[in-house]
Chains A and B, each alone.
Chain A
């Protein structure tokens, strides 16, 4: 019998996790304290770095403005669509690639190398080309937003499928499991943890992609709001909008991390 060490040893539990949370809390307190000290010093003006109070007021104001809620809704629709497409298509294609790659490792390597190159290419430079080709509407922002996320999902799902153990496959065969049974009882639970991790990374990339697209090819959405506040030099609005988007990203990231931790305990 071989002892299998979990590949997910970075998932923290117990004391390490406690110290990480403490570090995160301390880091937030330090940033707020530094911000406060900066605003009361003469090093910067309130135009450059707004005070804590005015920023907080901006956030409240931003969240209570009908226009902001509309911007939030626009961004949310785009994010949900981009994330859903990246997830479904990425997992589906990745699983197929991983399974096919068990028999044709060369094909899998070539496709993964191509996807890796596409991931490393800054897609921002293609945004004007995308606008020229397909215009600048809702779906264009979705397509731009999902472009990196779908690659990460595909690569991770492929790796997850490829690593579903030979032992488990032999076990399934020895009990005459149908393909359907193998998929739901062995394949999906085996692959779930790396897929959840990929979802988290994909989500961050999708948020970045959609925000960037909104900044340049939109007249609504949180990305557009940030861009507009920056060009109008409305610093409290700019900082407030940035904080709202960042808080949303951090909350979603924490949610996925919670799932990863739960599954990590379950898996290891």
Chain B
């Protein structure tokens, strides 16, 4: 892990200020996610219609850590962007905390992208404060809140640095802090650790769990990595078929808090192998051959 990042400080996120312009509040807010009958298509340059997701339905209770896995091109990132209100669906509905999502709603749901997407001309503090600035929160309040959340992710001493001065892991922490600063009910994470080396990736996962354990927001985490999916989740949703739909949902019942030692237990391996077999079967069913494309994960790629 990168410097200054090994332990989480004890401070908690400050509550939204009097302006109340941003933040529905992590604690106690309803972060339940309900998706029903979601179908998504796109038209290519030759005017051919491709259906990516078909009749996707699932529900994630408030405060749950859910992961979404599936082969490349199965529409995991598309699903996440629809949950975030960035894309519209052809049919179906998304409700978060009982509110229908048809456009971005940063007070309620924020997205952490695979690319940390930090603005290189802004310091870490100003990057984290960006969503508050956009929402019109006053300077002092947004700085206080950005500082608090940076302390929370262990980057309290990096606030005045620029993104170029940070390691890959630290950049992702800043991106997570930026996602958390508006105190969303739901945090959507699109393969946020995919570009990190394996050790950093799992350490980041461990830190994310500690953070989530404190905040208890709903997290929906897209990944290619089966081990990561099982290690992090209460619930693993598998996107299967073409067009994809939620083929199976696996409840992960390992006790919390979890540490990386969990990953060497036979139960962990059994569950991971169960998911692997399921994906393999689906792949063979879909195309007649099997190939499992991994980004940044050589472990399962050899199987």
Residues of B within 8 A of A1 (CB): 114-116, 168, 171-172, 192, 194-196
Name A1-30 residues within 8 Å CB distance of B: 1-3
Closest to B193 in A: A1
A168 B106 Cβ-Cβ under 8 A: no
Task: Determine if B120 is an interface residue (Cβ-Cβ < 8 Å).
Answer: yes
Shortest Cβ distance from A218 into chain B, in angstroms?
Answer: 43
- The distance in angstroms between the C-alpha atoms of A175 and B121, with both chains bound, is 18
On whether A266 and B121 interact (CB within 8 A), knowing A1-B115, A174-B104, the answer reads: yes
- Nearest B residue (CB) for A182: B134
Do the beta carbons of A175 and B86 come within 8 Å of each other?
Answer: no
Residues of the A chain whose Cβ atoms lie less than 8 Å from the Cβ of B194: 1
Q: Which applies to chain B's interface (DSSP): helix, strand, loop or mixed? A: loop
Let me know if B162 and A181 touch, CB within 8 A. Answer: no
Inter-chain contact B111/A174, CB cutoff 8 Å: yes
Min CB–CB distance B278 → chain A (angstroms): 28
Q: How many residues of B contact A (CB 8 A)?
A: 32
Residue B119 is within 8 A (CB to CB) of chain A in the complex: yes
Contact with B along A46-72 (1 / 0, CB 8 A): 000000000000000000000000000
Residues of A within 8 A of B103 (CB): 176
Report whether A174 and B172 are in contact in the complex, using a CB–CB cutoff of 8 Å. no
**Contact (Cβ within 8 A) B121 A174:** no
Give the interface of B toward A (CB within 8 A).
81, 84-86, 103-106, 110-111, 113-117, 119-121, 130-131, 133-135, 162, 164, 168, 171-172, 192, 194-196
Cross-chain contact B195 with A176 (CB below 8 angstroms)? no
Cα–Cα, bound, A185→B121 (Å): 10
Q: Residue among A1, A168, A171, A181 with the most chain B CB within 10 A?
A: A1
Contacts A2-B195, A175-B130, A268-B164 known; A168 to B117 CB distance under 8 Å?
yes
**Residues of A in contact with B (beta carbons under 8 Å apart):** 1-3, 167-168, 170-171, 173-177, 181, 185-186, 189, 192, 266-268
Contacts of A268 on B, CB cut-off 8 Å?
120, 164
List chain A residues, Cβ under 8 A from B104.
173-176
6 more CB-based (< 8 A) A-B contacts, given A1-B194, A170-B113, A176-B106 = A1-B116, A171-B113, A174-B110, A175-B104, A177-B134, A186-B119
How many inter-chain residue pairs (CB < 8 Å) link A and B?
A: 62
Please state if A168 and B119 are interface contacts (CB–CB under 8 Å): yes
B134:A170 contact, CB within 8 angstroms: no
Cα separation A264 to B1 with both chains bound (whole Å): 29
Most buried by B among A170, A174, A176, A189: A174
Q: Evaluate contact between A189 and B121: CB separation under 8 angstroms.
A: yes
B-chain residues with CB within 8 Å of residue A181 when the two chains form the complex: 134
Instruction: Give the residues in chain A near B113, CB-CB below 8 Å.
Output: 167, 170-171
Report the minimal beta-carbon distance from B195 to chain A, rounded to whole angstroms.
4
Interface CB pairs A-B, < 8 A, 15:
A1-B114, A1-B168, A1-B171, A1-B194, A1-B196, A2-B195, A3-B168, A167-B117, A170-B81, A171-B113, A174-B84, A174-B106, A174-B110, A192-B121, A268-B120
Residues of B within 8 A of A192 (CB): 121
The CA of A230 and the CA of B117, in the complex, are separated in Å by 58
Please determine whether B172 and A175 come into contact, CB atoms closer than 8 angstroms.
Answer: no
Residues of A within 8 A of B106 (CB): 174-176
Question: For the complex, what is the distance from the CA of A3 to the CA of B164, rounded to whole Å?
Answer: 10
Query: Chain B contacts of A175 at CB under 8 A?
Result: 104, 106, 130-131, 134-135
Q: Which residues of A contact B114 (CB under 8 A)?
A: 1
Nearest-CB residue, chain A, relative to B136: A181
Q: Which B residues lie within 8 Å of A2 (CB)? A: 115, 195
Say whether, besides A2-B195, A174-B110, A176-B104, A185 and B164 are in contact (CB < 8 Å).
no
* Minimum Cβ distance to chain B for residue A262 (Å): 11
Chain A neighbourhood of B168, CB < 8 A: 1, 3
- Which residues of chain B are near A185, meaning CB under 8 Å? 119, 130, 133-134
Query: Which of chain B's residues have a CB closer than 8 A to the CB of A3?
Result: 168, 195
B241 CB to nearest chain A CB (Å) = 27
Decide: A267 and B117 in contact? CB cutoff 8 A: no
Interfacial chain A residues near B117, Cβ < 8 Å: 167-168, 170-171
Query: Nearest-CB distance from B266 to chain A (Å)?
Result: 33
CA distance A167 to B54 in the complex (A): 26
